[in-house]
Amino acid sequence: MLIDFNNLNINQLSFNTGFEKKVEAFLEEWYSAGNTVKVQTSGSTGTPKIFEIEKNKMINSAVMTCNFLDLKKEDTALLCLPVEYISGKMMIVRSIERKLRLFISEPSLRPLENLKDEIDFCAMTPLQVENSLDKLYLIKNLIIGGAAVSESLKNKIHQVKLSTSNHIFETYGMSETLSHIALKQLMPEPEEYFTAFENVSVSLDERDCLKIFAPNVNAEVLHTNDLVEIKNNNQFRFLGRIDNVINSGGAKIFPEELEALAKREISNEVVFVGVKDESLGQKLLVVIEGSESESVRKIISELPFEKKFHRPKEIIFINEMPRTPNGKVNRIELHKIINENS
């Protein structure tokens, strides 16, 4: 289905599938007299919540992304994300704001499977990108969000034959920032730091966690639980979430950094977790998605960890990682599974 926001006539559109009807419902809400729309959080770090967001703030967010990517009227975009969440809603709002031609595709693990023509702009999750590597050349501007992009996926992307006109970015943001407020380029030239949009400033709080001031999308200074390294007032490097930090024998361990190291060598989903331990406080374990594998065990055991205490005390294999509806590993549920089976 195609919605041309440059020549929009909703009454002439036919919304047939269940997903298309969800898009229709959002458009009805958007064009209603109300000043806000309802958005659901992913629930990746707690109980899912529904809250209302001002439409003008969503437009401001859309403008920042469209300007950064230099999207123009009548450019094409592809929606392949659930519209219950801010990620899918913002793809529609960007299309409205910039008068794009938006193709609607049922969210799936292979959203580009039937794509034949070039698209100017698309947003996908890492798992969707993983299953679409052979079609990435059709996307001029791709943003990847919903979860961190693993080192393994980055390597796979760099092995794909893409032209210099193909731009791929990892996003940083959350529901409270109305999708992302910073991008980090992965292709054609990989960058180490996220760069915040114009009128967005970043700093550290007393915990060394990121503070965001983005007045165009949120009047409040947002205090995150993300530990970062600040390069300047608009560039930062993500280290890990403070609530994921593992305290083992008095040493603080950032699991995301260890996961990035492991995913350079293996393609399986890898999660480092801490479980209660009488002597250490927390014992470091690594959970690997997939069947028991001696070769994977060997790779983990031979990883060049920076510190001795970074080496996991135990390696656990799990058939399938628990995930939230938008594809993120559900660390809370994973901890429950480990504790129940320990």
Which pLDDT tens digit goes with each residue over 43-88?
555 566 788 899 999 999 999 999 999 999 999 999 999 998 889 9
Task: Give Cβ neighbours of residue 144 (< 8 Å, ≥ 6 apart).
Answer: 123, 124, 125, 126, 129, 168, 169, 170, 171, 186
Angle between helical axes of 55-69 and 86-98 (0-180°, round to 10): 70
Number of domains in the chain: 2
pLDDT < 50 regions, the chain = none
Q: What is the pLDDT of residue 240?
A: 86
Domain boundary among 162, 197, 232: 197
Helix/strand/coil for 279: coil
Looking at the structure, tell me whether residues 175 and 102 fall in a common domain. Answer: yes
Q: What's the pLDDT tens digit per position in 134-180? A: 999 999 999 999 888 878 789 899 999 898 999 999 999 887 788 89
In 3D space, the residue among 212, 215, 217 whose CA is nearest the CA of residue 234 turns out to be 212
The one-letter code for the residue type at 97 is: E
> Would residue 235 count as lying in a domain?
no
The pLDDT, as a whole number, for residue 48 is 67
Provide DSSP, 61-79. Answer: HHHHHHHHHT--TT-EEEE
Is 307 buried (19+), middle (13-18) or exposed (0-12) by CB count in 10 A? exposed
Is residue 325 assigned to a domain? Answer: yes
Q: Is residue 236 one of the residues assigned to a domain?
A: no
pLDDT the model gives residue 47? 62
Buried-exposed string 131-144: b where 16+ CB fall within 10 A, e elsewhere:
bbeebbebbbbbbb
Query: Same structural domain for residues 192 and 260?
Result: no
Domain-located, residue 238: no
pLDDT for position 342: 65
**HSE of 311, CA atoms in CB hemisphere, 13 A:** 11
* Averaged pLDDT score across all residues of the chain: 91
Note whether 18 and 29 are within 8 A (CB).
no
What is the per-residue pLDDT for 148? 81
The answer on 251 and 140 residing in a single domain is no
The rounded percent of the chain whose pLDDT value lies above 90 is 68
Domain of 249 in residue numbering reads as 245-341
Domain boundary residue, one of 176, 197, 218 = 197
Which domain CATH number covers 303? 3.30.300.30
